[in-house]
Chain A
Amino acid sequence: MENSKINRRDSLKIIGFTSLAGLVWTTGCETKETAETHEHAHNTDDSLKLSEGDKKLMNEQFFTDAEMKTVTALSALIIPADDKAGGAVEAGTPEFIEFMMKDQPRHQTGMRGGLHWLDAQCNRQFGKPFAECSEDQQKAMLDQIAYPGSAKPEMSQGVNFFNNFRDFVATGFFTSKIGIEYLEYMGNRATVWQGSPQEVLDRLGVSYDMVKQYEFA
């Protein structure tokens, strides 16, 4: 093969890193890593990549403007921004849900119907559709459908819709840059695995003495 006698530093170059950034971890660096092996690095190109098919879907519109308002309001209520991180809206969740309706059309009826159901309930209880209700009214509505264990039987369709919608919001938020940082996921980068940090082992009450008969990499 062409890349014979390759070392790890070279392999990182092959992957396309422009920088071999310094310490990224805030924990776990107390292990016996040396400067030579401690080459955590980020993938520097994390821009959105669109295929022709994706572009076409992006140019189509599924939600009406009124529906999009409801989707946005629901997203903000489900995962709000706080002083630690932005929320689902800042993370682009409404746009993600819009895309998925076109990418997987089987979701369309349940989604559109659920939004209608929500408006019909709000009209009955507050005399206006969900997006036009006050935040207190919106929360009063969600309190009736967001807790499957205590919701009233007549709310079952709303509960199902909301369970599904909550899952969409979770994916939209936690697969975004904001959401991934909020969770403090620290991987997806080239590194040298040297085991879990001592404090993580201590927390779980385990130690590498349990496997001391083996020689590890």
Chain B
Amino acid sequence: MQIKENSTVYDVCVVGSGAGGGMAAKTLTEAGAKVVVLEAGPMFNSAEGAMFKWPYQSPRRGAPTHRPFGEFDAAYGGWDIEGEPYTTVGDTKFRWFRSRMLGGRTNHWGRISLRFGPKDFRRKSNDGLGDDWPISYDDIKPYYDKVDKLVGVFGANFPKDLKLDNEPDGIFLPPPKPRAYELLVKKTCDELKIPVLPSRLSILTRPHNGRPACHYCSQCGRSCSTHSNFSSPSVLIPPAQATGNLTLITNAMAREVLTNEEGLATGVSYVNKDDNMEYTVKAKAVVLAASSCETARLMLNSRSSRHPNGLGNSSGMVGRYLMDSTGASRAGLIPQMMDGIAYNEDGVGGMHMYMPWWIDNKKAKLDFPRGYHIEFGGGRRMPGYGVFGNFHTYNGFVSANRRENPDPKRTGGYGQQLKEDYKKYYGAIVGFSGRGEPVASYDNYCEIDPGKVDQWGIPVLRFNFKWSEHEVKQAKHMQDTFEEIIEGMGGTPLGEKPGADRDYGLLAPGEIIHEVGVARMGDDPKKSPVNKYCQSHGCKNVFVADGSSLVTNADKNPTWTILALSMRTSEYLIDQKKKGNV
């Protein structure tokens, strides 16, 4: 097969255009570097999403036939993509979400924008498990500050008397007022000593850096036509393009990083999905931000005499310490919210309040390390596909005391009574989800499957992953907490409480879509593929700028940390360039 070579030598080739790749492209081009970005999916403009679409505008009413989060969701892709398989070993249940489009998963994420706190970088020192980071909160804080100011995030600094000292202050736009039911949750949680606080989402409640404020349609996941929330194509790609230094190549599926005799990177080869031809781009440095596991795949697939185990993988640590957030959920029917008063309760596309981790595991003598935060939502949302599903399992619970003894004649049903029941119960359900920190393990990893390739002949990943008792016990704590809150609100938890046989409802790894850690940073080249600036120990002109460098996956969603680290790595790359070290 003929390989088409582009003769331009770029300063940097960035693989991926999501949070990490977009930030690298912006920072590098604004510093004057000529940058080429390879994106595996098509172009995407947030203004073209399905915002304001009613379910009846589609014959499938938003059903998730083609997209896992429903047909109006902005993410092109999913856990299963035709022609792009991956495999698992033994009873591994890992599921790998990919979003193939400009901006990747930033187009549909929950906009939950949390900084990791000081303790998150020092977990081993605290509980003896896993490893500490080679950097501290003070190293990353200036970058979090810059990300807050650049992107815009609403929230509030928490009252100091709550002693939530692992939840750093930020530079916030004012948060939206809580919805009434969110205050009801707070009222109950105040009694349970669980803090319910203004959430921190990258949605603009004031005009910010040329982008207008939110218009409160609650559909952030469909992408925003006014660019009032954060996505890479709304916030990072346009300023990079404005410099004139950005070359963007879409539908470009990276195959491997090319290296010379000295083992230094010289560019990247890729398949153009439009014509199925092989291409190469030359660059003086390469930044991998392809989404953690895809970055590991690229490194492992880039083998040469100088890098026999894969690019910068003499440690054998590329692919190791794969993590995802823990996740478990429960919903409750709240009789006080039944027969609700009609009003527009949409608000922003997400929760206005949430609960950060509130317990000191040691002092409280919990039987698991690390914590979780709670996200919650419900109320009078736009009805969508699946609305009132399994109604027959709860419409007999007209009040909490009917839980043990629902009226069999009234559960399920049909006709006028059912129709009125639906209306009575609409808006009376609140769902709670825990998102927690796992303990990183050497034995959770991805590797190249020796026997399988994707449709372009690129060897695919094989996953090895098992939750440990730490994560399972954490999920049990989540379930007990959710039940306590729901019952405290006078409500009835729906469905059966998941027990030990179901790992307390702990979702399969990969399902929270926070997979990180497969090229973790560290000072010791034998234990970590990249240094504290996310620069490859074994190949000094290769950097990672996505979630792959994370040493721990805190009880906070990783995007804000990916953005901050990508900015920091990009500034370091510029500095090293100026000093002639790269």
Contact = CB atoms under 8 A, between A and B. Distances in A.
A146 interface: yes
B50 to A, nearest CB: 9
A149 interface: yes
A213 to B, nearest CB: 6
Contacts of A54: 58-60
Contacts of B184: 204-206
A184 B386 CA distance: 18
Contacts of B183: 201, 204, 206-208, 210-211
24 contacts: A5-B210, A15-B215, A15-B226, A43-B53, A54-B60, A149-B409, A149-B412, A150-B409, A163-B390, A170-B388, A174-B422, A176-B55, A176-B56, A180-B382, A180-B383, A182-B423, A183-B422, A187-B344, A190-B217, A195-B178, A200-B340, A203-B340, A210-B183, A217-B177
A1 B418 contact: no
Given A58-B59, A193-B348, A197-B341, 6 more contacts: A14-B226, A46-B57, A79-B422, A148-B411, A175-B385, A188-B52
B284 interface: no
Interface string B197-217: 010000001110011111111
A186 B217 CA distance: 11
A147 B413 contact: yes
Nearest to A104: B65
A191 B57 CA distance: 22
Contacts of B65: 103-104
Interface string B409-423: 101111110110011
Contact of A11 (B62, B213, B418): B213
Contact of A12 (B206, B215, B336, B419): B215
A99 B419 contact: no
Contacts of A147: 408-409, 411-413
Contacts of A139: 415
B181 interface: yes
Contacts of B47: 14
A66 interface: no
A128 interface: no
Contacts of B54: 43, 46, 177, 180, 188
B216 A192 contact: yes
A215 B174 contact: yes
Interface in A132-161: 139, 142, 146-150
B186 A210 contact: yes
A12 B340 CA distance: 29
Contacts of A48: 56-59
A189 B217 contact: yes
B386 A79 contact: no
B228 interface: yes
Contacts of B495: none
B345 interface: yes
B392 interface: yes
Interface of B: 47, 51-63, 65, 154, 156, 159, 173-181, 183-184, 186-187, 198, 205-207, 210-219, 225-228, 238-239, 336-337, 340-348, 380-392, 396, 406-409, 411-416, 418-419, 422-423, 426
Interface residues of A, number: 91
A204 B183 CA distance: 9
A10 to B, nearest CB: 7
Contacts of B159: 213
A15 to B, nearest CB: 6
Which of B343, B386, B409 has the most A CB atoms < 10 Å from its CB?
B343
A170 B380 CA distance: 16
Contacts of A4: 210
A28 B179 CA distance: 13
B337 A204 contact: yes
Given A15-B51, A175-B61, A190 B215 contact: yes
Contacts of A26: 342
Nearest to A26: B342
Contacts, number: 281
A25 B383 contact: no
Given A146-B414, A171-B386, A163 B60 contact: no
Contacts of B214: 193
A189 B344 contact: yes
A46 B55 CA distance: 9
B60 A166 contact: no
B388 A217 contact: no
Contacts of A15: 51-52, 215, 225-226
Nearest 7 interchain pairs by C-beta: A149-B408, A4-B210, A195-B177, A184-B342, A217-B205, A196-B180, A175-B55
Secondary structure class of chain A's binding surface, majority of residues: loop
Contacts of B215: 8, 11-12, 15, 190-192
Contacts of A205: 184, 187, 336
Given A171-B61, A187-B344, A206-B180, A211 B186 contact: yes
Contact of A79 (B207, B216, B418): B418
A3 B212 CA distance: 9
Given A3-B212, A150-B408, A183-B423, A78 B173 contact: no
B207 to A, nearest CB: 7
A27 B174 contact: no
A177 B61 CA distance: 11
Nearest to A206: B183
Given A172-B61, A177-B56, A193 B175 contact: no
B521 to A, nearest CB: 33
Given A14-B226, A194-B177, A213-B159, A80 B416 contact: yes
Contact of B180 (A46, A149, A163, A201): A201
Interface string A52-80: 00100110000000000000000001111
B232 to A, nearest CB: 14
B336 to A, nearest CB: 6
Nearest to A82: B416
A188 B345 contact: no
Contacts of B348: 193
A100 B60 contact: yes
A97 to B, nearest CB: 11
A186 B175 contact: no
A34 interface: no
A96 B386 CA distance: 13
B369 to A, nearest CB: 32
Contact of B383 (A174, A192, A208): A174
B242 to A, nearest CB: 8
A104 B59 CA distance: 12
A197 B181 CA distance: 12
A3 B387 CA distance: 37
Given A148-B412, A204-B184, A217 B154 contact: yes
B419 A80 contact: yes
A109 interface: no
Interface in A12-47: 12, 14-15, 25-28, 40, 43, 46-47
A58 B60 CA distance: 11
B175 A204 contact: no
Contact of B391 (A167, A203, A217): A167
A8 B213 contact: yes
